[in-house]
Structure 1
């Protein structure tokens, strides 16, 4: 009845399961959506060509923290260790691709 009243008043009602599926799909389609705001900051600075030391200085935390954020970024973007690929470059390419399509 609440849903009918809401719609009759000009509002909208969405099933929570539909919302959950849409959010899951967005996260799957856009891996950058999985990153925390701080991880996005780190990745943006990586895209600027900054070293871990420079990122740490600019964001006011340790190089170890930058390294942890970087590892988390790689994991969330599905960039496992590889002898053939540079994960930092691949992460930056994903970032640039995501910012173009956003």
Structure 2
């Protein structure tokens, strides 16, 4: 599963996320992390598809929250075309990512 890396926190060397659980109560969830993929973090254990992960806010486990759903950010910029000018004056267009 991929999640926004901003949602991941660490405490004494252990990674965790906060999720919105039953009755909108904040729950602490230890997670195992993998690599970054296109700006998002791979979570190999600890979170299930469909769970609501808290990205920001001053919350603690056990608190009741009023969650607001936000779209998952996409860190991969769109492909853009750049024109490269060679030393001999010829130009060439290539698709690049910034």
Higher helix share: 1
Q: TM-score surpassing 0.5?
A: no
TM-score normalised by the shorter chain: which range applies?
Answer: under 0.3
Higher strand share: 2
